[in-house]
Amino acid sequence: MTDKLREAAQQALTTIEAAIITLAAANEQGKITDTIWVSEFETLFDFLGSEADALRAALAENDVQQEIEAALAQPEQEQITTDFEIIHQAVQTVIQAMQYDPEYAWGWHCNIAMAFVDAGGDHYTANQGAARFLEMFAKVQPAHELPAPEQDMVAYEIEAKLKEKNT
């Protein structure tokens, strides 16, 4: 709907609404609207009411259509940029949390390492890979000592728990 057509429809709606108000006031004084028939099934009052409803619906639909067109006219690049900005902010928040809290970073380290172990890798390589990834990603070092290549993991876990109790 063009701006001129929209303006004309709005003026028509205002005119019809004014006529309905006038007829309603006159109707209170003597039921004249029931005597003015547009067809054998519809009074003038009914006709004007349905025309006003149709104009309201058309204007509302036009408003919705304009909102849709405006949203679609937004450049796709702008939306992609916004998405990347949101992702970038989220990643920066995670990095800052890792740098602030070594135990939080250690939790990430352990999860990354265990994904490798679950896929069939050994603990030593998993820990080295997780440490390397977190150093490159967030510039953080492991919060705990990593196992040596030949170290038994059960013994390593026991030793680590004993060290924690003693500190």
Tell me how long the chain is: 167
Higher per-residue pLDDT: 11 or 153: 11
pLDDT tens digits, 129-162: 999 999 998 899 888 888 777 666 666 677 777 7
Q: Which of 50-59, 72-81, 135-144 is predicted most confidently?
A: 135-144
What pLDDT, on a 0 to 100 scale, did the predictor assign at position 131? Answer: 93
Residue 39 is inside which H or E element, if any?
strand 37-39
Answer yes or no: pTM beyond 0.85: no
Say which DSSP state 143 is in: S
| Distance (Å, whole) CA 61 – CA 50 | 16
Mean model confidence pLDDT for the chain:
76
